[in-house]
């Protein structure tokens, strides 16, 4: 018996190292946010000094990179705080359905009462909220920093933070995901100065997302029937800062 175990160990030692891709197989549940980051071995809780509340989780390597960036920013007199990190499918579903049903107003409107066409209603919500199953926050690679209000980033304090991030975040692996709309990003979610993505890992998630997820996987929430018609994967998931795309996604 012992001999067999030794031979098995020797066979493993001589087999080739797994490739980058097979090393990091991401299952569909993790791509769609259908898991619990609090009990997942690859995720850790963000310490209070880096966040505005408890219970925020990130992938370990993303958190390590963020801590480096936080330190460098602090040395330059810029304070970075995470206001949103990993969100599960159910968390995103709550955000989406509150807007869908009118429980939360969007631009002062109750969408359930004012927009009866499901496609039109989904389009309005999609300006700033991802459909459940399509949020990059499911991956633990993306963070919202300091505030999710444009007014903050237009203030002197917010402008200073954004300018620091625009100049320095990439050297820690972070990129603004939803850059201003333009030739290289004609559609998709509106510009978000607060949303930053750790691209070394997020690119891997996106690559596998495109391979494994279709609009058939996007169900279990109000308005999910609009996912296919709006082609949300092409028109939102892939409509990001081109620097966050790998060669294969283009
Ligand atoms: Zn975000």
Q: Is residue 69 part of a domain?
A: yes
Task: Using the mean position of ligand 1's atoms as its centre, give its distance from the Cα of residue 15 in Å.
Answer: 41
Q: Are strands 195-198 and 174-176 parallel, antiparallel or unpaired?
A: antiparallel
Long-range Cβ contact pairs of 113-118 (< 8 A, separation 24 or more): 118/223, 118/225, 118/226
Q: Are strands 195-198 and 57-59 parallel, antiparallel or unpaired?
A: unpaired
pLDDT reported for residue 17: 46
pLDDT reported for residue 24: 82
Sheet strand arrangement including 142-145: 82-84, 142-145, 195-198, 174-176
- Report the domain count for the chain: 1
Task: Convert the pLDDT of each residue in 184-235 to its tens digit.
Answer: 899 999 999 999 999 999 999 999 999 999 999 999 999 999 999 999 999 9
Q: Is residue 185 part of a domain?
A: yes
Task: Using the mean position of ligand 1's atoms as its centre, give its distance from the Cα of residue 119 in Å.
Answer: 23
- For helices 156-168 and 60-75, the axis angle rounded to 10 degrees is 120
| Residue 247 binned pLDDT confidence (cut-offs 50, 70, 90) | low
pLDDT reported for residue 19: 44
Q: Is residue 23 part of a domain?
A: no
Q: Is residue 129 part of a domain?
A: yes
Task: Using the mean position of ligand 1's atoms as its centre, give its distance from the Cα of residue 12 in Å.
Answer: 42
Task: Convert the pLDDT of each residue in 74-102 to its tens digit.
Answer: 999 999 999 999 999 999 999 999 999 99
Q: Is residue 13 part of a domain?
A: no
Cβ contact 51:82 at 8 Å: yes
Close Cβ partners of 212 (under 8 Å, ≥ 6 residues apart): 28, 31
Q: Is residue 3 part of a domain?
A: no
Task: Convert the pLDDT of each residue in 2-33 to its tens digit.
Answer: 444 444 444 444 444 444 444 589 999 999 99
Task: Using the mean position of ligand 1's atoms as its centre, give its distance from the Cα of residue 190 in Å.
Answer: 11
Cα separation, 56 vs 72, in Å, equals 22
Look up the CATH number of the domain holding residue 224.
3.30.1380.10
Continuous segment of H or E residues that includes residue 95: helix 89-101
Whether this model's pTM surpasses 0.75: yes
Task: Convert the pLDDT of each residue in 87-145 to its tens digit.
Answer: 999 999 999 999 999 999 999 999 999 999 999 999 999 999 999 999 999 999 999 99
Q: Is residue 209 part of a domain?
A: yes
Q: Is residue 221 part of a domain?
A: yes
Residue 185: domain span: 29-249
């Amino acid at each position: 018996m012992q001999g067999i175990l030794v031979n098995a160990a020797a066979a493993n030692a001589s087999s080739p190292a797994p490739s980058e891709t097979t090393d990091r197989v991401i299952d569909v549940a993790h791509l769609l946010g259908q898991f619990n980051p609090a009990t997942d071995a690859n995720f850790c809780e963000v310490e209070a000094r880096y966040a505005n509340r408890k219970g925020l989780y990130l992938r370990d390597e993303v958190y390590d990179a963020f801590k480096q960036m936080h330190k460098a920013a602090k040395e330059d007199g810029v304070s970075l705080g995470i206001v949103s990190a990993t969100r599960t499918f159910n968390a995103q579903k709550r955000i989406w359905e509150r807007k869908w049903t009118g429980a939360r107003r969007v631009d002062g409107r109750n969408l359930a009462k004012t927009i009866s066409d499901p496609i039109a209603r989904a389009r309005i919500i999609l300006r700033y909220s991802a459909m459940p199953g399509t949020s990059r926050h499911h991956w633990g690679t993306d963070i919202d920093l300091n505030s999710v209000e444009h007014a903050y980033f237009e203030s002197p304090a917010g402008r200073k933070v954004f300018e620091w991030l625009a100049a320095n975040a990439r050297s820690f692996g972070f990129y603004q995901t939803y850059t201003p709309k333009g030739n290289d990003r004609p559609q998709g979610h509106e510009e978000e100065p607060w949303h930053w993505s750790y691209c070394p890992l997020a690119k891997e998630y996106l690559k596998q997302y495109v391979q494994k997820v279709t609009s058939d996987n996007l169900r279990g929430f109000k308005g999910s029937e609009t996912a296919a018609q709006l082609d949300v994967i092409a028109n939102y998931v892939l409509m990001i800062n081109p620097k966050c795309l790998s060669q294969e996604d283009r």
